[in-house]
Amino acid sequence: MAYIELNQVTKRFGSVTAVDRLDLQIAKGECVAMLGPSGCGKTTTLRMVAGFEDLDDGEIRAGETLLSSKREKYYLPPEQRNFGMVFQAFAVWPHLSVFENVAFPLRIRKLPKAEIIARTEEALKHTNLLQFAAGSPDDLSGGGKQRVALARALAIRPDVMLLDEPLSSLDPHFREEMRFEIKDLQRRFGFSILYVTHDQSEAMALSDRILVMRAGVVQQVGTPLEVYGSPANRFVFEFIGLSCFLKAGLTPSGMQIAGNDYAWPNGIAPSTEIIASGRGLLAARPTEIDFVGEGGVRGHVISKAYLGETIDYRVMVGETEVRVQKTRRVPGPAVGQSIGLNFPHPHWYPVD
Amino acid sequence: MLFAFLAIYLLTFLVLPVGTMILQGLTNNEGKFVADHIKLLLANPVYVESLLNSLGVAAGAAVLSAVAALPIAMVLWRYHVRPSVFIELCGFLPLFVPPFVLALSLQIFFGRGGALGMLFQSYCDLDPAILGLPSVMLIEAMHYFPLVLMTLTMTTSAYNQQAKEAASLGSGWFRLMTRVFLPLGMPGLAFGMSITFLKTLDDLATPLSLGVTNLLAPQAFLRVSAYGSQDPLSSLIATLMVVISGLAWFASIRFVRQHVAFRNASSVSASVLLSKQQMIVGITFLGGILMLYATAYAGVALTSIARIWSYTLLPESYVLSHYLTAIHSERGSFINTLAYCGFAAVLDVVVGLVMAYAIDCAPPVWKRWLTWGATGLLSVPGVALAIAYLQFFRGIEVPLINQAIDASWFLLPMAFSVRGLPFAIRACSITLQGIPASYVEAANISGRNRFRIFIKIVLPMMTVGLFVAFLLCFGLAAVDLSSAMLLIPSETNAPVSYSIYLNMQSTTGRGAGSALAILSIALVTLSLFTLLVLIRRDWKTVSSFRKFVFTGS
Amino acid sequence: MDRLAHFFSLALLVIFSADVLALESIVVASSFPKEVLVAYKKAFDERNPQYRLEFVNFPGTNIIPFLTDRTPGSRPDVFWSSSPDSFRALLRHGLLQTIGSQGNPSIPSKIGSLNIDDPDGFYKGQALSGYGIMWNTRYLSARTISPPGTWSDLVKPELFGHVVMSSPSRSGTTHLIVESILQGAGWENGWSLIIQIAGNCATITDRSFDVPNSITSGRFGVGLVVDFLALSGKYSGFPVDFTYAWPSAITPASIGLVTGARNSEGGLKFITFALSKEGQSLLLRSEISRLPVLPEIYASTDRPADYPDLFDVIKKHPSTYNPDISEARHLVVNAIFNQVVTFRHRELVDVTKAIQSAERLLIKRPHAEAGVLIDKARALIYRPPVSEKDELTTSPQLQTRAHIAAIAAREAEWARQTSKNYVSAKKLVEQALAMMQ
């Protein structure tokens, strides 16, 4: 059941279309991550959901309630949407104590004093901040500050939590910890999450579904597995993990890479549309390429680097460099050696 | 609502008075446009000469202070001597101390009656009043030189690294100066020079205390005091001053805006220990400048403790009672200064904040015009504004207190506030920009009460910035003698600077007047120091303060 | 934040309290130096705690535009100044209220031929002022110059660059000196004397009190001042002295109630105080040193041995001064002085110096033709740009925009003529010098 619904949401800044006809449904209690490079429109989308930005087209609803609509010229103010929001730069007010930071949204809503105290303490307890309540947020680490921001968003008991790159200003080891905490809080309070990030591993770890954006246009929406396993296009493939590409000339009977002709082995051939275009892009993850002595796509090893458990090979196929990662337990080719590459799980994309 | 308040304020206290003044000069009794008054102005060689003199003295002071500042700034830069923030702030002292104090001090020190002037009088007459015009120029240049020097070092200090590299390439001094140093320092130089130009043009007390009358500001002042505010020629002269200042300011804006790449000024580590050579260079130059000013102000300092000093090298007898007199009998003028300048500065901060907010929200085209307009306010000289007020508010009664507005102290702080506004807008917009949008949005998402959010969240986060703006406007108002001389309705309403001016010219008052001057300078230095302590707590603000000096960053 | 709030509230408090107090204030417009005003304020405020005395200080000559620029009800209450023509001008503009016989009956309304009070009771004499020359004894003896005795001594070449005076448009007392010379010596001769003195001046000061100030400090040697400014310096211990000079005026410094005063009652109270025995004895303080008009003060209070006596002074210097003539041409005299002297002082000094050195040479090497040229040069510059009979000086006008513009037109004319005169005079002197070489 869709709870938050974005229909054909569009936003333009001058001549630039920041978000282009975006559709998205978020179910109650679901966590959706918006993933993309900076400037792709993901934060703009988040701000439109929050109510900080007007729409140039389309509408946003929450259940039966209309939140924003271009056609009706209706915008529910941010504070009436009952959404919590956490910003990348924490946005924790330095002149207020931790307690007052969390209590402020409740105070401004003019809740009874006793309830303010109870709710604030509850939010602080769940974010492990109770012992710092009287102190200044400036005395806390980045992770601590972000917890204050989280507690502040939590205190209003939001229906949806909007998280704008909440972890990117934190040290790497805090990030993982905070991921679990966010997940934990979501389980406990049952809010939905719309999460903006440019870090694919964060998106994978946290979310039920991922929406990949590029230049305002949605590239793919799906579970982490779908997005990683079958990227909808070259951009998604490249953005979601390590990748290598080889350009190939295509005929119904085989392909030509770097001047060599190869007949189609089983399971490797692309769709007929791509074959019909005569050219295609063979994409693979470095871990999903095998070395073969005879046959395969021919190339030669130019370097070899140990990355702990795996070895990172760079193989030149014609003019193109291909990365291959193999476990160190299986002996691989030496530098300078001519070698064949097999692609057991190839992806084909049209050449742009 | 807020914007309506802003519009009313600007209309009432700037646009309408100045507009009326310009019309006064250009129309006859029936309100028709006539050139009669312009012809009258041009017919009298005194006014034409005054115009040329004013241009010459103001431009000369600006050039002279730049010529003095350039080589010193260049040496400091070349040897990577970076003055401390406090010294840099002291460079702004001239903005807060009226230049006529320097003029009177030099008169005491170099006049025939005592000290150096007495010593050398058989060889040459050093009295500044004998020199006339050139000494106005020299004194103004000397007064504003520290400002030019410091704006120059502040713009160039961020590039010390480049200086090192350029120097290691073996470029000669001249090449280094023309190729690297001058282009880098241009914004600071242009800013310092234009301030010197505008302030010199507007200065009334300095030429008058030197007996120089053939300048625009004294001519306008003398005419208004002899013939009253209805005199059309003084309106014309004031209009002329507005035009000249406006042109000068907009001409300099080009240079000030040209390179504003000193964003990383504060990224230069301030704690690097200076080498021995650098110390020597720094102490020689900065110490030398300090000595020079100590000597220049020795006249006032000595007078403030002299009982009888007449035609002897040093005073015959000393007393400290002048300080007691100054504190006791001038308590009123201190309170006045506090009240007017405080009132003006509070108004400035409020209006400046609204203006800055308006500029921030405005569409880009408007933004540019608003910013220009705001800084263009700089070009309304105090004398001109005062004349405009005298004409515009003549005989208008304030309803509740049943008093004519021009007979109350009210106009003076209003004039001060208009004059301080460009600085306030600048300071406020930097302060506003210093608060990331998300801090406000984080509050907005939780509740509707804008006012409460402003009071509880936005305002506390701006405290330091607004306090800086307040101090700045306060200080500028405190030395704005040009408007004060025309607008104060009564002696008891006089601010400190005017009391100093009056006292220092009378036999029995000059001790107390000098004491008052010394006290004021000490007070300003102290508040600069306090300011520094205050902003040290937040290094970001220091870099903003740096930025503040230059428009368009 | 709290501290800031406190500061603001304090500032607001100060502003409002000042306003509340203003309701009880008495505003006195006066050209007197600060010490005089402070002494009277202190004494008056102590006696009358319900009032607060305030002062507007500016040259007495500017009182008319100051008052007419303000509507009735917002003007100062009292005008107090040494300048009799200012009082005449106020009368003519209807800006004084009658006081009648109020004041101090012990003060004679006439001493000798001199009216102390206005016969119609519009203003009262409060002190006497005489005018003369002040000098610094050390300054003059260092240069072996003997102290001058009267105005004409001030044009001597040995005083060149050692004299100082103010401008009549900026100082009521200077205006009086100029006028008394003009009335005593005649229009043409008077102006000649005044311009020659100005040619000997090192500078023309902005305010009248800067003249005694620069003489007490020894910056300059000799100056034209009102008696009390010199005497206060002398009795404060400075090496200065003073003499009354002829032709001069002994005039009462007067005090009167302004029409449209905000606080007439309080104003009258202050006037009564200034005329009382207490107010009169304040005049003898060393920092004030003025001549009281209440005769008993001279008898009772101890004062310096050589302190001038009112009746002596009046006897010795019978006044020829007529304030009505002075008042009628007041603006014009000021304008002439400014255009010929103040704004052209450098040129004047320059030519004066040239003439003096040429004349010195002439004594050594007599040369008839050169002498004629020098006299021609003198005649060119030491004379008024306009005759006494000019309608501008004879028909007094109210200060209106049209009248101001009319004066401005004449000013331009004089300024052009003066510039030309200085140039031609300089040429004449150079020719004379060349002849004598």
Confidence of residue B510 (pLDDT cuts 50, 70, 90): confident
Confidence of residue C315 (pLDDT cuts 50, 70, 90): confident
Contact C239 B311 (CB under 8 A): yes
B452 Cα to chain A: minimum distance (Å): 8
pLDDT top residue among B95 and A54: A54
CATH code at position C59: 3.40.190.10
By Cβ distance, the residue of C4, C218, C232 closest to B463 is: C4
Q: Among residues of chain C, what percentage have pLDDT more than 70? A: 91
Residues from chain A that touch B438, judged by Cβ atoms under 8 A, are 87-89, 91
Q: What subunits make at least 3 CB pairs under 8 angstroms with B?
A: A, C
What average pLDDT is seen over chain A? 86
Residue C290 contacts B, CB cutoff 8 Å: no
Residue C141 contacts B, CB cutoff 8 Å: no
- For residue C2, the model assigns a pLDDT of 40
B39 Cα to chain C: minimum distance (Å): 9
pLDDT digits (tens, 9 = 90+) for B298-353: 888 888 888 888 888 888 888 888 898 888 877 778 888 888 889 999 999 998 88
C53 to chain B: nearest residue by CA? B492
Statement: residue C33 has pLDDT above 60 = yes
pLDDT digits (tens, 9 = 90+) for A182-224: 888 888 888 999 999 988 888 888 899 999 999 989 999 999 9
Supply the angle between the helices B216-227 and C330-340 in degrees, to the nearest 10: 170
- For residue C339, the model assigns a pLDDT of 93
By Cβ distance, the residue of B438, B457, B460 closest to A87 is: B438
* Mean predicted confidence (pLDDT) in A55-80: 87
Task: Map residue C386 onto helix, strand or coil.
Answer: coil
Contact A84 B461 (CB under 8 A): no
Residue A166 contacts B, CB cutoff 8 Å: no
- For residue B551, the model assigns a pLDDT of 30
Given a contact cutoff of 8 angstroms between Cβ atoms, the answer to whether B177 and B78 are in contact is no
Confidence of residue B539 (pLDDT cuts 50, 70, 90): very low
The tokens 């109870």 sit on which residue? A118
CATH 2.40.30.10 for domain A242-349, yes or no, is no
Given a contact cutoff of 8 angstroms between Cβ atoms, the answer to whether B189 and B62 are in contact is no
Contact B491 C343 (CB under 8 A): no
By Cβ distance, the residue of B439, B445, B461 closest to A78 is: B445
Statement: residue B154 has pLDDT above 80 = no
- For residue A34, the model assigns a pLDDT of 92
Contact B213 C138 (CB under 8 A): no
Residues from chain B that touch A93, judged by Cβ atoms under 8 A, are 439, 442-443, 457, 460-461
Shared-domain flag, residues C336 and C267 = no
Statement: residue C158 has pLDDT above 90 = yes
Q: What subunits make at least 3 CB pairs under 8 angstroms with A?
A: B
- For residue B165, the model assigns a pLDDT of 61
Contact C219 B113 (CB under 8 A): yes
- For residue A342, the model assigns a pLDDT of 83
Range among A25-39, A191-205, C304-318, C333-347 with highest mean pLDDT value: C333-347
Size of interface A-B (CB pairs under 8 A): 65
Window from A107-121, C57-71, C265-279 with minimum mean pLDDT: C57-71
* Mean predicted confidence (pLDDT) in C24-34: 83
pLDDT top residue among B403 and B111: B111
What average pLDDT is seen over chain B? 80
A106 Cα to chain B: minimum distance (Å): 8
- For residue B401, the model assigns a pLDDT of 55
Residues from chain B that touch C338, judged by Cβ atoms under 8 A, are 213, 222
Range among B103-107, B499-503, C6-10, C378-382 with highest mean pLDDT value: C378-382
- For residue C396, the model assigns a pLDDT of 67
Residue C61 contacts B, CB cutoff 8 Å: yes
pLDDT top residue among B405 and A202: A202
Supply the angle between the helices B133-156 and B182-202 in degrees, to the nearest 10: 140
Residue A168 contacts B, CB cutoff 8 Å: no
Statement: residue C267 has pLDDT above 70 = yes
By Cβ distance, the residue of B112, B310, B401 closest to C19 is: B401
Residue B449 contacts A, CB cutoff 8 Å: yes
Q: How many domains does chain C have?
A: 2
Residues from chain B that touch C171, judged by Cβ atoms under 8 A, are none
- For residue C412, the model assigns a pLDDT of 93
Statement: residue C159 has pLDDT above 90 = yes
- For residue C360, the model assigns a pLDDT of 92
- For residue B538, the model assigns a pLDDT of 52
- For residue C102, the model assigns a pLDDT of 82
Q: Among residues of chain B, what percentage have pLDDT more than 70? A: 86
Contact B45 C416 (CB under 8 A): yes
Shared-domain flag, residues C46 and C106 = yes
- For residue C337, the model assigns a pLDDT of 95
Strands C110-111 and C163-166: unpaired
Statement: residue B141 has pLDDT above 90 = yes
- For residue B364, the model assigns a pLDDT of 75
CA atoms lying within 13 Å on the CB side of residue C54: 28
Given a contact cutoff of 8 angstroms between Cβ atoms, the answer to whether C240 and C140 are in contact is no
- For residue A33, the model assigns a pLDDT of 92
Window from A95-109, A131-145, A205-219, B244-258 with minimum mean pLDDT: B244-258
Residues from chain C that touch B481, judged by Cβ atoms under 8 A, are none
Shared-domain flag, residues C55 and C109 = yes
- For residue C222, the model assigns a pLDDT of 95
Confidence of residue B134 (pLDDT cuts 50, 70, 90): very high
Contact B438 A88 (CB under 8 A): yes
Residues from chain B that touch C139, judged by Cβ atoms under 8 A, are 112-113, 311
Instruction: State the burial class of residue B490 (Cβ atoms within 10 Å of its Cβ: 0-12, 13-18, 19+).
Output: buried
Confidence of residue C193 (pLDDT cuts 50, 70, 90): very high
Range among A319-333, C68-82, C133-147 with highest mean pLDDT value: C133-147
- Mutation target to probe the A interface, by most A beta carbons within 10 A, among B439, B445, B450 is B445
What is the third-level CATH fold of A2-237? Rossmann fold (3.40.50)
Statement: residue A226 has pLDDT above 50 = yes
Residue B445 contacts A, CB cutoff 8 Å: yes
B456 Cα to chain A: minimum distance (Å): 9
pLDDT top residue among B278 and C255: C255
Confidence of residue B214 (pLDDT cuts 50, 70, 90): very high
Contact B227 C19 (CB under 8 A): no
- For residue A309, the model assigns a pLDDT of 84
pLDDT digits (tens, 9 = 90+) for C137-152: 999 998 999 999 889 9
Does residue C230 lie in a domain region?
no
User: In chain A, positions 101-130, which contact chain B (CB-CB < 8 Å)?
Assistant: 104-106, 108-109
- For residue A266, the model assigns a pLDDT of 65
Residue A158 contacts B, CB cutoff 8 Å: no
* Mean predicted confidence (pLDDT) in C5-34: 58
CATH of domain B44-548: 1.10.3720.10
Q: What's C282's DSSP letter?
A: G
Residue B164 contacts A, CB cutoff 8 Å: no
Residue B435 contacts A, CB cutoff 8 Å: no
Statement: residue C17 has pLDDT above 60 = no
B315 to chain C: nearest residue by CA? C217
Domain ranges, residue C263? 22-129+251-316
- Mutation target to probe the B interface, by most B beta carbons within 10 A, among C15, C174, C235 is C15
- Mutation target to probe the B interface, by most B beta carbons within 10 A, among C62, C343, C346, C399 is C343
- For residue B228, the model assigns a pLDDT of 82
Contact C238 B308 (CB under 8 A): yes
B311 to chain C: nearest residue by CA? C218
Q: Among residues of chain A, what percentage have pLDDT more than 90? A: 13
B447 to chain A: nearest residue by CA? A79
- Contacts with A238 (C-beta within 8 Å, 6 or more apart), sequence order: none
Window from B166-180, B531-545, C37-51, C320-334 with minimum mean pLDDT: B531-545
- For residue B262, the model assigns a pLDDT of 37
C206 Cα to chain B: minimum distance (Å): 6
- For residue B256, the model assigns a pLDDT of 66
Window from B163-172, B292-301, B467-476, C385-394 with minimum mean pLDDT: B163-172
C413 to chain B: nearest residue by CA? B44
Phi, psi of B362, rounded to the nearest 5 degrees: -65, 155
Shared-domain flag, residues C402 and C256 = no
Q: Strands (DSSP E) along C25-177, which ranges?
A: 25-30, 52-57, 78-81, 96-97, 110-111, 114-115, 123-136, 163-166
Which segments of chain A belong to CATH 2.40.50.140?
Answer: 242-349
Residues from chain B that touch A50, judged by Cβ atoms under 8 A, are 441, 445
Which H or E run contains C425? helix C401-436
Q: What's B553's DSSP letter?
A: -
d(CA A229, CA A68): 35
- For residue B267, the model assigns a pLDDT of 37
Long-range pairs for C411-414: beta carbons < 8 A, 24 or more residues apart: C411/B44, C411/B46, C411/C335, C411/C338, C411/C339, C412/B40, C412/B43, C412/B44, C413/B43, C413/C385, C414/C335, C414/C336, C414/C339, C414/C340, C414/C385, C414/C386
- Contacts with A26 (C-beta within 8 Å, 6 or more apart), sequence order: A2, A3, A4, A5, A32, A160, A192, A194
User: In chain C, positions 30-49, which contact chain B (CB-CB < 8 Å)?
Assistant: 33-35, 37-38
Q: Could you tell me the maximum CA-CA distance found in chain C, to the nearest angstrom?
A: 86
Residues from chain C that touch B407, judged by Cβ atoms under 8 A, are 70, 74-75
Does residue C171 lie in a domain region?
no
Does residue C166 lie in a domain region?
no
Residues from chain B that touch A88, judged by Cβ atoms under 8 A, are 438
Statement: residue B537 has pLDDT above 70 = no
| Tokens read off for B141 | 């240049």
Given a contact cutoff of 8 angstroms between Cβ atoms, the answer to whether C370 and C218 are in contact is no
pLDDT digits (tens, 9 = 90+) for A11-61: 988 888 888 899 999 988 899 999 988 888 888 999 999 888 888 999 998
